[in-house]
Structures are given as structure tokens and as C-alpha cells.
A and B are shown apart, each in its own frame.
Chain A
Amino acid sequence: MTSHLRLVWIYPDLLSTYGDQGNVLVLEQRARARGMSVETVHVRSSDPVPEQGDIYLIGGGEDRPQILGAERLRKDGGLHRAIGRGAALLAVCAGYQIMGTVFGGEEGQPVPGIGLLDISSGRGERRAVGELAAEVDPALGVPTLTGFENHMGVTRLGPGVRPLSRTIVGTGNGDGTEGCYAGKVIGTYLHGPALARNPGLADLLLAWTAGPLAPIDDTWYQRLREERLAAVLPG
């Protein structure tokens, strides 16, 4: 197991609309609970993205910051190089769309993404707002996803990615699937602190980096998961 974890939070000044910091805090807590030391770098949009991180995080945001974020990431190139050398990435909501080839701008105009995931996004008819629950691809060994979505995006998955999950409640990508993954890159519409309600997903990212993980006290995570899943799942 790797004993030192380097987290890189990309552009909190642009893309951190609602509780996105939660993903950083959950990864830090779950790594430290396993005796790892953690170093977290907050990368402002005016600064270069370091290439030596283990796990990269990018969050959600409004239309203008999303377009600015995509431009800066493309010009910078640091995230591409990091993923190229095997780093993991969790991209949330607006950050998820940026990873594709194209997404919808302020007036629905197509804006080029940065092409780390084989997906293309556009604007849907109506805003998807509410609780989401979804069954994760069994290959990943992660229990049911639970979270909150708040977006107008519709995302089409290309052959280069697999759906992260199939929705039970909620909209997700818009075709019955939610999020996607390829290699160690995960994208999801679960906005904000997606990992707080899905510690299994947090551990997947950690295990990709650090190898097999020891079990830790999960009581408070599980109590919240049980309540939220019971509130939305039928029967």
C-alpha cells in the first residue's frame, strides 16, 4: 500500500459551486484513517495543474466558469499528462461534461471539451433536480450510488467508456445510465460531495492508487446512506 497520497483539487475558484470540497475532505479522511499521509493541492485557474498527483478532483459550476475552466485546462495540458501517467480522476457535473469532446454553453452552443472521456454533452429540455439512486457496474464492486443531481445536461456515451451505473431514481446521463468511467477516470452527475454518500466510490479511487485497503469505521457514512436510500428507493 502506498503510504503517501497526493490529492489535486482542480480550479476550486471556478468549479466548486456546491460542497465540492466534500470529495476532498472524504478522501483525506478515509486515507488518513488507514494510516496514509495526505498532501492536498488546491490549483487555482490561473496556476498550472501539477502532474505528480495521485487523485485529481474537479467539481461543478455555472456555464461561464465551466467554459473558462475547459479553456484553461486545454491550454495547460497538465491534467492530460497526469492521466497519461496513470493518475485517477473524479469529475463531477460541469467537470464531468468538460472531460468529454463537447458540451453545451450558455445559449446551448457547442463548446469543445478536453477529450479525456469519450462522451459528448448537450443541453436537455428541462433541469434534472433531485435525489438520484443507481446500480453501479458490477465490475467495480461498489454498492448502490446515492446522491443529488442538479443539471440540464444530457450526455451520450461513446464506445471508449462504460456507464458507471444504471439509474433507479433520477436522470443521470438521460438514457437510463448515470456517469461513466474509462481506466481510472470517473465522471458523474452526482453533484457536490458525491463521495460523502458513496464511500465505496471513494475507496475505489483510493484502491486504484494505493492497492488493497484495510476496513475502517464506516458508521456515520452508512447511517446517512441507509436513510437516503430508504427515502428514495421504491418498497
Chain B
Amino acid sequence: MSQLPLRAQLASALGRTAATLSRATGRGDGSVIGGRVGLMLEPDLLRQLAADRRLALVSATNGKTTTTRLIASALRQLGEVATNAFGANMPAGHVSALSSAKDAPYAVLEVDEKYLPEVLDTTQAGVVCLMNLSRDQMDRAAEIWLLAQKWRRALASRPTLVIANCDDPLVAWAASGAARVSWVAAGQRWREDSWCCPECGGPLDRKGADWACRECVFRRPTPSWVLDGEDVIDPRGQRWRLDLQLPGQANRANGAIALATVAAFGLEPGHALLGLREVTSVAGRYTTVERDGRSLRLLLAKNPAGWLEAFDVSDPALPIILSVNAQGPDGRDTSWLWDVDYRILMGRPVLVTGERRRDLALRLYVAGVPFQLCDSFGQAVAVLPPGRIDVIANYTAFQQIRTEFGRAE
């Protein structure tokens, strides 16, 4: 790492102080405020902090925090890694992450979808990985076709290596204008946002994992990495059993993307997997907490595609508590509940809580899924007999539950 200019050093140091103060006074983990202070003092700070590092950016609607964690865990075998582990995924969070690991030669940053073009431009990252795009909190997030178009423009004629999921047509379209792409067949469970060709609007014909536009030449690119059940097949045709500690198909997809990404840093799958398998829980997700003889496994689902992934991980033999809020970070609009098919829960004890439990109650009623409404999470837990329980919650509902249990990982 070359020496930062004096102004940037000062901005970075004051930002870290602000972060420490914020943590010490119990206001949060400090990663946003610290970065904000730094950027206020030196607006060019992110560019300067990113320079001379080998940097990967990770963006998607779902799985970016987990994939960032998997990549960072693997890269640590090569040296120190700067990363925004707590999901502060806008420029202030990036400044904070890079600033707190000044000498790390490697960096992996999770990036909010909307900020990707800006952050790519500022940091000139050498590697970008893109996993999926689907409907998500549209009262505040960008429309996804528009987002894909912005990604496409940002990636065109840039030397960056793009690691992209070729099974998601919107992602494939966004990445296909880039000069260098390593395609990964990581799968696509949620398809409701990609029935039409992003290039021309024509219908996409699908056959298994393959897809092609009926009206123009746009079609699924040929992957060099393939996720095949529990295994990843690398570009040389070698098969690797993932054996992650994180559960479910969505995490295997994240694992496949992570393997392809760290390969670009010179890390072979055999070595990379040792790092990937160390990750057990990401910001409380998949954690099990205990209360009064009940073991509650916490699953986060922020949008329809995320709910499908959570259902995939959830054990159909267990009772389930669902908690839904509609605060700012969740999206104030609960319409998305109607895009989730809850009938898969039929036959299990279903308890409904959260600030918008009445929205969810009506949704389940119309779907014909029996449920019990509970005024609080504690009440829902108490209603169920001791034993294992799965919990699916959206963003702030999840944070509330974690806070109740002391945010234990």
C-alpha cells in the first residue's frame, strides 16, 4: 500500500474516532457515521483508500452480505482483507471498512445495487460479482430493469473482470456488455421478474436452466463455472463438493460465485473451500438462539425471492414463526406479501407476529393456510411447546428479535 496523502490520513483517522465513539456510546457499530465523517473531511477518500488494493465488489438483490463474507473468508488465506462485514453497503460504509484495515492488500465490499456504478467508478475495482436481481422494496429501491440498464452502462468498456450469474437473465444482460466476464451457472429460483427479454422485451423461452429470447439473439451465455447440486464444477471440469456450514441452495449459489471470484485472485477451489467452510452465521442469519427449552433458528427474508430461499432452508417438520414489519429499511409497502406463495407452509403450526401481522394474516387467510395471530414475538414463542422452531422475519423484525436475544451470533 502506498502512503495516503496527509489530508486523507487525517480524514480516515477522525472517521475511525467517530466510529469508536459511536460504538462506545451504544449508538451502533459505527461503520456508517465513521465513513460519513471521513468523507466530509475528504470527499476523495474512498478513491484514495481503494487505490493500490486488489478489490472485489459484490452486488445483488439477495445474498450479497453472505457472499461478501464467503469471499473475505477465503481471501484471508492470501493476506489481510478489508471488508464491510456488517452490511453497511453504501460509500460511507466502504470508507469505514477500508479505513479500519489500512494496510490490507485485499478488499471485498458489499455494494448496494443502486450505488454500484458510482462505487465502481470511484474505486476502479478489478473484480465485480453480480448474482441476481429481483423485486425488492420498490417504495425506495430502483426499478430493476432500470437498475440492470445502469449496471450495463457502468460495466461497458471497462477492464474490470465481471463474475456474473448467467442463470439470471437481467444479470446476464447487465454483464454481457463488459469486456471480460466469467460466467457462473449459479441457478435462479425466483423467475417472476425475468419472463421477458431485457434486450428487446420479447418472451424468453426456458428449457431447464437454459433460456433464450424468441425474438432476438439474446440468450444464456455459456458458463465456465457450474453449480451442480452440492458440487461446483470449475472451468477445467474438476468437481468440488461445497460442504458449506451455511444451509440451503441459495448459499450454495453464493459459494459458487465466491469460488469463481477468488479464483480471479489466484486462489484455487481446494484452498478457497477451507475458508468458505469456516463461515457459520452471517450477521445473525442462520443462528440458533435458546429460550425456555425452545431452540429458535433465525432466518432473514427481505423480499419474495428471499422468502423462497428461507422456505428452502426451513425444516417442514417444525413449527414456524413469521414476523413482518414495514419500517423504512423493510419498505413501507407490504404488497410483496402477495408475491410469496405461503401454501408451502400448509400443515405446519404457523404463528404470525410483527408490526404488520394483520397484512400477513389476511395473506395467509386468502391462501387458505391456517395460522395463529400473536401480539408479540415472546407470545408466539410461549404458545409453542419446547423444541425446535424456525423463525422467518424481514429486516427490522429480524433485528428486533436479535436485540431481544442480545444480538448473539
A→B interface (CB under 8 Å): 12-14, 16-22, 25-26, 29, 44-46, 62-65, 68, 129-131, 148, 150, 191-193, 196, 220-221, 223-224, 227
User: Are A45 and B333 CB-contacts (below 8 A) given A62-B145, A224-B358?
Assistant: no
Note all chain B residues with C-beta closer than 8 A to A148. Answer: 139, 332-335
B21 to A: closest C-beta gap in Å: 34
CB neighbours (8 Å) of B362 from chain A are 196, 220-221, 223-224
Once the chains are docked, how many angstroms separate the CA of A221 from the CA of B333? 17
Across the interface, do B335 and A25 meet the contact criterion of CB distance under 8 Å? no
Cross-chain contact B203 with A193 (CB below 8 angstroms): no
Q: Which of B143, B201, B361 has the most CB of A within 10 A?
A: B201
Residues of A close to B359: CB separation below 8 A = 224
Assess A19 versus B338: contact at CB under 8 Å? Given A65-B145, A150-B139: yes
Please name all residues of chain B whose beta carbon is closer than 8 Å to the beta carbon of A227 when the two chains form the complex. 358
**Beyond A13-B196, A18-B339, is A46–B333 a contact (Cβ under 8 Å)?**
no
Q: Which residue of B lies closest to A64 (CB)?
A: B145
Nearest Cβ distance between residue B306 and chain A, in whole angstroms?
A: 15
User: A16: which B residues are within 8 A, CB to CB?
Assistant: 192
Against A, the Cβ 8 Å flags (1 = close, 0 = not) of B327-369 are 0000011111111000000000000000000110111011100
The CA-CA distance from A18 to B193 in the complex, in Å, is 10
Contact assessment for A46 and B202 in the assembled complex, using a CB-CB cutoff below 8 Å:
yes
Q: Are B358 and A46 in contact (CB under 8 A)?
A: no
Tell me the nearest residue of chain A to B203, going by C-beta: A46
Query: Which of A13, A64, A192 meets B203, CB within 8 Å?
Result: A13
Residues of A within 8 A of B145 (CB): 62-65
Which residues in A have their C-beta under 8 angstroms from that of B333? 18, 148, 150, 191-192
Whether the Cβ atoms of A45 and B196 lie closer than 8 Å is yes
Given A44-B203, A45-B203: A25 and B339 interface contact (C-beta under 8 Å)? no
Chain B residue contacts of A19, Cβ below 8 A: 335-339
Chain B contacts for A45, CB-based, 8 A: 196, 203
CA distance A20 to B193 in the complex (A): 13
Residues of A near B365 (CB, < 8 A) are 220
Instruction: Output the least CB separation between A29 and chain B (Å).
Output: 5
Asked, given contacts A18-B339, A220-B365, A224-B361, whether A13 binds B135 with beta carbons under 8 Å apart, the answer is: no
Q: Chain A contacts of B367 at CB under 8 A?
A: 25
Complex formed: what's the CA distance from A14 to B194 in Å? 9
B265 within 8 A of A: no
- B192 touching A129 by the CB < 8 A rule? no
Q: Which residues of B contact A131 (CB under 8 A)?
A: 332
A18–B201 touching, CB < 8 Å: no
Q: Which of A17, A44, A62 contacts B195 (CB 8 A)?
A: A44
Contact A13 B195, beta carbon cutoff 8 Å? yes
Q: Is the CB of A65 within 8 A of B196?
A: yes
| Interface contact B338-A17, CB-CB below 8 Å | no
User: How many A-B residue contacts, CB cutoff 8 Å?
Assistant: 96
* Contact bitstring B132-151, A, C-beta under 8 A = 1, else 0: 00010011100111100000
* B contact residues around A65 at 8 Å (CB): 145, 196, 201
B76 interface contact, C-beta 8 A: no
Q: How many Å from the CB of B198 to the closest CB on chain A?
A: 9
Q: Which residue of B lies closest to A193 (CB)?
A: B338
B212 to chain A, nearest CB (A): 14
The answer to whether residues A22 and B196 also contact, given A13-B203, A223-B358, A224-B361 and a CB cut-off of 8 A, is: no
Q: Does B54 contact A (CB under 8 A)?
A: no
**Contact A68–B338 (Cβ < 8 Å):** no
Could you list 28 A-B pairs, sorted by A, with CB under 8 Å? A12-B195, A13-B196, A13-B203, A14-B195, A17-B135, A17-B138, A18-B335, A19-B336, A22-B363, A22-B366, A25-B366, A25-B367, A44-B203, A62-B144, A62-B145, A62-B146, A65-B145, A68-B201, A129-B139, A148-B332, A191-B333, A192-B335, A196-B362, A220-B361, A220-B362, A223-B361, A223-B362, A224-B362
**Contact residue among B202, B332, B358 (Cβ-Cβ distance under 8 Å from A130):** B332
Chain B contacts for A62, CB-based, 8 A: 143-146
A-side contacts of B366, CB under 8 Å = 22, 25-26, 29, 196
- Cβ–Cβ contact B339 & A21, under 8 A: yes
Shortest CB distance B166–A (Å)? 20
| Complex CA distance for A224 and B135, rounded to whole angstroms | 24
What residue in chain A is nearest B364 (Cβ atoms)? A220
B214 at the interface (CB under 8 A from A): yes
Which residues of B, 1-34, contact A by the 8 Å Cβ criterion? Answer: none
- Closest approach, in angstroms, between the C-beta of A22 and any C-beta of chain B? 3
A18 touches B203 (CB 8 A): no
Contacts of B196 in A (CB 8 A): 13-14, 45, 65, 68
Select from chain B the residue with minimum beta-carbon distance to A46: B203
With A64-B201, A223-B358 given, can you name 16 additional A-B contacts, CB distance below 8 Å?
A12-B195, A14-B196, A16-B192, A17-B138, A18-B333, A18-B339, A22-B335, A62-B143, A63-B145, A64-B145, A148-B334, A150-B138, A196-B338, A196-B362, A220-B361, A223-B361
A63 partner residues in chain B, CB cutoff 8 A: 143, 145-146
| Chain A residue at minimum C-beta to C-beta distance from B195 | A13
CB proximity of A185 to chain B, nearest CB, Å:
22
Interface bits B108-141 vs A (CB < 8 Å: 1, else 0)? 0000000000000000000000000001001110
Contacts of A20 in B (CB 8 A): 338
A63 to B145, CA, bound (A): 9
A18–B336 touching, CB < 8 Å: yes
Q: Which residue of B lies closest to A131 (CB)?
A: B332
Give every chain B residue within 8 A of A220 (Cβ-Cβ): 358, 361-362, 365
Inter-chain contact A18/B361, CB cutoff 8 Å: no
Q: Which residue on chain B has the smallest CB distance to residue A29? A: B366
* Closest Cβ–Cβ distance, residue A200 to chain B (whole Å): 15
In the docked arrangement, what's the CA distance between A21 and B340, Å? 10
Measured CA separation A224–B337 after assembly (Å): 14
Q: Which of chain B's residues have a CB closer than 8 A to the CB of A25?
A: 338, 366-367
